[in-house]
Chain A
Amino acid sequence: MDDRSSLQNIIECLIFISKHPLTIQEISEFLKDVEKKEITAALDELQKRWEDMGRSFVLGSVAEGYQFRTRPEYSQYIVEFNKEIKKFRLSKAALEVLAIVAYKQPVTKIEVEKIRGVDCSSSVSILLERRFIEIAGRKEVPGKPFLYRTTNLFLETFGLKDLKDLPTVKEIEKIKEDFKEPE
């Protein structure tokens, strides 16, 4: 076996046993003698190989790391086979709060409520419990409210590489310009 494929295999088995998406940082801390460049190249090659093999799972890039994940087309078999499996569930309201936190972080609960026009306390506590968001500190305003931000588990759950990987939202155009004078 040549060096290149054995490096790939070593990295592959580390990812395979890892509980969380394994980062390049973690791999290179372990493989001290290998250059980061080489690790990145090996990871790219690994991803391509798994993709090309057309298996039921792929090597995904999520939460700034690498993780083996099943392809979405097999979800029905998985859920049917294991009825006890913990399924993802989130209300529309909680998903809205999560989206606002994701795009505006760090953000306070009051700021989220201002955007949604409704009380968001229960959604915020559900998201905290599920560890999709966490406290990022306090805002230096009267009352020092908590600031919230999203977690790595959020990125992992939604299959996002990092926060820049969030779907782009259309920016609000300058309203004043578009605003028509009433007749």
Chain B
Amino acid sequence: MEYDSSAFISGTDSAQWRTMKSVCLLGAAVVLLFAGPTLGLVETYHFSDPKLEIRYQDLTEELRCPKCQNQNIADSNAPIAQDLRRLLHQQLEDGNSDAEILDHMVARYGEFVRYRPSFDGVSIILWLAPALLLVAALGGLLLALRSKSVANAARGTSLSVDEQARLQSLLNKAEQDS
């Protein structure tokens, strides 16, 4: 049967076959036409040194897009992110160090542009807050536990005179019963 069907295809009218082929080609062309803008969004840069490319990847992930604030410039398709990527590529090729490039960006867009802000100024609060909160929470817990155990201990050692008398009478009663 398979031979028959292939024979059927090869045996079809060649004009019909050509029409089908051109329809397929047209379809592919249409798909590519619409794919064009999405393909063009992520540009590729050529680096003179593979090491630069690795630094480029790291820096595009560390630098934050000023316009689309919860994306880094590697993920963002905003025009400003494209511009920053171009600037970054150019600066890497110019032989600038990571620190120089980050300083350059921070001078223009503020500390905001870094996902790992520097350890000074206002951002010191950001860095220290988690540790300070942890210390405060542990301190609070320790204090609460200690005051509870102190209260328990205090209650445990001192029976009042009435309680002492009642305990004694209970003990005596138990002795008599047995």
- To the question of whether A and B form a pair in one complex, the answer is no
